[in-house]
Structure 1
Amino acid sequence: MPAAPAQPVTATVPGTEHRASPRALVAATLTLVLAFAVSSSPVPLFTTYRRADGLTDGDFSLATVAYFAGTILALLVLGRLSTHLGRRPLALAAAALLLAGALVMLRVDSLAPLALGRFLSGLGCGIASSAVMSYVVDAAPRRPAWLATMITSQSPMVGLTLGALGSGLIVEHGPRPTTTVFLVGAGAMTLCLIALAIAPETGPRLRGALASLRPRVAVPAAARPLLPALAAVVVSTWAMGSFYQAFGPSVVADGLGTDDAVVFAVVFSAYMLPSVLGAPIGGRMRAATAQRTGMTVFAIGVLGVLTALALDSVVLFIAASVVAGAGQGMAMSASVRSVLSTATPAETAPTMAAVYLLSYSGAMAASLISGQLTRWYGVEQIVIGYGVLAVAAAVVTALCAREPRPVEAPAA
């Protein structure tokens, strides 16, 4: 019989009791999905920028690094703030930053506005990865127990997919795509601001807001044995996601022989969207089993991507991306489920911040290194490094994955 997902602790100190709220859950989930949709919307425009403004793969890699730098800064400095100020104020700040990023990118004619807009988007997504995800965990009902972890682990993938597909369609069939894409993004964030403004607060408001701004990464003591497998999963899978963001348009244009933005969006979505399908499959397994199985599938998919690029096969590239994405969903969802099962409500925000700090750090490091390597190597050679990373991560996960030991809440 499949193991039931471990459930996060529901109370620790006065003021941290579970406060399920359907209205807050809808507002937080909408914000989480649309935040990542807006963050991925510039990517299908990279080919347009390269053709019209002379931007290079190195420029796009640096813009991706700017995005990840913003997320990491937000997670380090603001990752625990929602425990003190509340989830909703930080969620509103995330939506406002993403709105500002979309407005900055209305006029991209060089690397500077693209990097600034991506940095602001990164700040917003960094806050979303902590405060908004914690908002979801707070607002979700206790049953089904897997709902909160599925939303928090898979909303980024759904959002990234929607953003890429919507932007790709606008690029190919819409008017003035370099403007329209970001006007749509600004409208989406305005909708989120309205939804959040009328949603109730659900999180704790503890003392120590100023002290929480000191950069510190913390996870519950019970989660520390889970960190080696967690790090292997999130670093490798998010690094591969950064490959699709930074080099996807070039792969489609140069390696696969087309510059159609919709084709790129489909290729990008082929990696991101199957993650949502992999998550519930992994949810029916014990966490460690799902991590090992998911990473094995992920590594097989990444090796298939390498083979597809060597053979110039679009069909094989998409099929292999689907396999890798499904494996990512299984492993990532199980990893989030494991660490959340050890966290109290007051520890949820810093725990989510730590998880996504690892994720974004791996993605940024991969983007920075691969961007520098474009000076000497082509994308077909650079992607081999991602394949090595995927196989190494699968081996580490196989050796280090273990079942969590949820901490029971003390009696009231």
Structure 2
Amino acid sequence: MRQEPSAAEPVHRDRTLGLAFVSAVVSLVTVFAAVGSTIPLFNIYRTEEGFTNAGISLTVVAYSAATLSTLLVLGRLSTHVGRRPVAIASLALLLLGCLLLLKVHDIGILIAGRLVMGLGAGLASSTLTAYIVDAAPTRPAWLASVASSQTVMLGLAVGAVASGALVQFGPWPRDLIYLVVIGSLLLSAALVANSPETATPTPGAWHSLRPSVRVPARVRHLLPVAAAVFLATWATGAFYQAFVPALVADQLHTNSSLVLGLVFAAYMGPSALGAPLGGRLSTAAAQRIGMIAFLTGWIGMITAIATGMLPLFIAATIIAGAAQGIAISAATRGLLFGSALPDRAPIFAAVYLLSYSGATIPSLVAARLSDLYSLPHIVLGYGALAFLATLFTVVAAHNPHTDTPSTVS
């Protein structure tokens, strides 16, 4: 005789999915805390090892290019083999990157460590974000898109501030942060290993390795504006990684590693606070408002650099950070509209492919130009990119269609 399901089963399922949600969020924060932990050390590497701005910028390019490659080839793998094994593999790659960065005395080692981190971050970007959406509670409705899109920014902020504090006040300034991150990565792997799987393994894992980018047809018309949002905001994030260490030291006149970490966190951290604000608006309206505020922040940053005012630079950075949270989460919410479980990893692969393209291409151009132009001139170039992306978003933003099936092709 078949046993009827008990009333406790849905409660148990909610609890196990809650563990999966927490594990995925904690792991994604840890992954990007590892990525952000290197930023306050860039000035130390510049001073003690003689690395140039162009060399530091190339580490950002190496990281972003590795992430792009991983997303293109492995972005759909977790749909076929499961979220947990791919997530644990991503954490292992980040751990390997941290081990490499314990011995940085040559720009090649720094580039190699950042490249390995990029491979791990690429796997995590598609896998852990999909895991978050799979396991997220249904209420509030905006939680899945905000948690999946803003956990990255929160992790970068946490990593930068923790690193800045440990570099300035702790022992072993070049090593301690990496040891702390390694411990956090091991803890995250243990959490994921003990969480339930949300994606039933299916055939086609080898076929999924063929480079491909695909999103549901019903939201494909949203891609151009989403690409503009991701391009401008992630280009700015890459700018903060590559050039703000030198900018803070040379133009804003402070060598404090903690201040450097706080400046970077001032861009990334408010993103998580701004994101829920956009959840009350339509995706098109939130993207428009977010990008206009983002451009306002950029105008303030350019003014601060021209006048050498650190407080204004930090205030403008906070405005730009909160604004990017509104715009990015709205763009992500639109692309996730009506998605089924098999759609999610490919959607996030596309999201982060666009995002890291935005980080990589301007960084590569800026690295080439950094020997020809001063940092304030390079800043104007990034400001122009923010202006063009904002203009396009205001003109072309749309809401998702509600009358077409969610097919992926």
For normalisation by structure 2, the TM-score amounts to 0.94
Q: Are 2:354 and 1:372 equivalent residues in the alignment?
A: no
For normalisation by structure 1, the TM-score amounts to 0.93
Query: What does the per-residue CA deviation read over 1:68-115, in whole Å, with 9 as the maximum and x for residues that have no partner?
Result: 011101100100001100111110011000000000100000111111
RMSD over equivalenced CA pairs, Å? 1.6
3-state SS in 1 of match to 2:177: helix
Shift of 1:20: 7.2
* Alignment of structure 1 residues 291-310 onto 2, 5 Å: 291-310=287-306
3-state SS in 2 of match to 1:144: coil
State the alpha-carbon separation in 2 of the partners of residues 290 and 366 from structure 1: 25
Corresponding residue pairs, total = 394
3-state SS in 2 of match to 1:206: coil
Structure 1, unpaired ranges of 5+: 1-17
* Alignment of structure 1 residues 177-188 onto 2, 5 Å: 177-188=173-184
2:238 to 239, 242, 262: 242
Match for 1:129: what amino acid?
S
Q: Are 2:224 and 1:222 equivalent residues in the alignment?
A: no
Match for 2:280: what amino acid?
R
Corresponding residue number in structure 2 for 1:6: none
2:123 to 120, 124, 127: 127
Shift of 1:409: 7.6
State the alpha-carbon separation in 2 of the partners of residues 19 and 328 from structure 1: 32
Query: What does the per-residue CA deviation read over 1:271-299, in whole Å, with 9 as the maximum and x for residues that have no partner?
Result: 11111121111011111000000000001
State the alpha-carbon separation in 2 of the partners of residues 284 and 171 from structure 1: 40
Match for 2:37: what amino acid?
S
**Given the superposition, is the C-alpha separation of residues 86 and 19 from structure 1 closer, same or farther in structure 2, using an over 3 Å criterion?**
farther
Query: Does the 8 Å CA contact 1:72/1:360 hold for their aligned counterparts?
Result: yes
Q: Are 2:386 and 1:396 equivalent residues in the alignment?
A: no
**Given the superposition, is the C-alpha separation of residues 245 and 386 from structure 1 closer, same or farther in structure 2, using an over 3 Å criterion?**
same
1:257 to 234, 241, 253: 253
3-state SS in 1 of match to 2:174: helix
Query: What does the per-residue CA deviation read over 1:363-386, in whole Å, with 9 as the maximum and x for residues that have no partner?
Result: 001111111111111111101011
Query: Does the 8 Å CA contact 1:20/1:202 hold for their aligned counterparts?
Result: no
Query: Does the 8 Å CA contact 2:282/2:399 hold for their aligned counterparts?
Result: yes
Query: Does the 8 Å CA contact 1:44/1:261 hold for their aligned counterparts?
Result: yes
2:17 to 1, 21, 33: 21
Match for 1:233: what amino acid?
V
2:100 to 104, 108, 122: 104
Corresponding residue number in structure 2 for 1:79: 75
Query: Does the 8 Å CA contact 1:149/1:337 hold for their aligned counterparts?
Result: yes
State the alpha-carbon separation in 1 of the partners of residues 44 and 37 from structure 2: 13
Corresponding residue number in structure 1 for 2:163: 167
Shift of 1:179: 1.2
State the alpha-carbon separation in 1 of the partners of residues 286 and 15 from structure 2: 29
Structure 1 segments, 4+ long, off by >2 Å, are: 405-410
Match for 1:155: what amino acid?
T
Corresponding residue number in structure 2 for 1:9: none
Corresponding residue number in structure 1 for 2:196: 200
Name the % identity: 49
Query: What does the per-residue CA deviation read over 1:166-203, in whole Å, with 9 as the maximum and x for residues that have no partner?
Result: 00001100111111111111111111111111111011
State the alpha-carbon separation in 1 of the partners of residues 340 and 320 from structure 2: 32
Moved more, 68-77 or 19-28: 19-28
Structure 2, unpaired ranges of 5+: 1-13
Shift of 1:144: 1.7
Corresponding residue number in structure 2 for 1:10: none
Match for 1:185: what amino acid?
V
Q: Are 2:39 and 1:30 equivalent residues in the alignment?
A: no
3-state SS in 1 of match to 2:102: helix
Query: Does the 8 Å CA contact 1:20/1:138 hold for their aligned counterparts?
Result: no
Corresponding residue number in structure 2 for 1:354: 350
State the alpha-carbon separation in 1 of the partners of residues 218 and 200 from structure 2: 21
Corresponding residue number in structure 1 for 2:330: 334
Corresponding residue number in structure 1 for 2:40: 44
Match for 2:88: what amino acid?
L
Shift of 1:204: 3.4
Corresponding residue number in structure 1 for 2:88: 92
State the alpha-carbon separation in 1 of the partners of residues 60 and 282 from structure 2: 35
**Given the superposition, is the C-alpha separation of residues 41 and 173 from structure 1 closer, same or farther in structure 2, using an over 3 Å criterion?**
same
State the alpha-carbon separation in 2 of the partners of residues 221 and 207 from structure 1: 23
1:325 to 321, 337, 343: 321
